[in-house]
A and B are shown apart, each in its own frame.
Chain A
Amino acid sequence: DTGVSQDPRHKITKRGQNVTFRCDPISEHNRLYWYRQTLGQGPEFLTYFQNEAQLEKSRLLSDRFSAERPKGSFSTLEIQRTEQGDSAMYLCASRPLGQGYESGYNSPLHFGNGTRLTVT
């Protein structure tokens, strides 16, 4: 278990630029989530993938945001035309596919260390 990996750790960009973040989940984890965390707040759900299928998107995910998981392994989150309000920590998390009360959707989320985005 090498953990969830996110790249880059930090990104500084100018308003209006496009940015892309990558998440590599734990290899056997089929379920992948993106969250956004702003200063002084808990993580907020952005989107969920099961294998390569994007099954839910939050209303927080405006049309400037797009996420993909093309082969059901790594995922990318792209923000187009960044705004200062996009400055936040973007967290990726994964969990295994499983059934039953204690497993599956109730198993712990494994988080990466996040990508901190600063839009100037």
Chain B
Amino acid sequence: GAVVSQHPSWVICKSGTSVKIECRSLDFQATTMFWYRQFPKQSLMLMATSNEGSKATYEQGVEKDKFLINHASLTLSTLTVTSAHPEDSSFYICSASLAGGPLTDTQYFGPGTRLTVL
């Protein structure tokens, strides 16, 4: 149980285009989903926290207009990288929490999406 999927698993796009990444909780409802970015040989860095039906909370230094997050249902959150540039190339990982609310810390991670911007 507690399986999280991401689509696509990898994507290559031209500079200036937008890319949408989907994160789905397959066998549970996730009130809260998290988006992380990981550069090579570095730790996961939290980008934003999204709660179903409300606006996402972005970490300091993350541009909310560039990284659009939509959490329209309890099983789906999307991250759209707008006007992508080569420096946005990274490994994007989502996670979903079984129980919602500010005190939850049980996160299940997706397999990640490799984004390469040419």
A and B associate = no
Interface residues of A (CB under 8 A from B): none
- Interface of B toward A, CB cutoff 8 Å: none
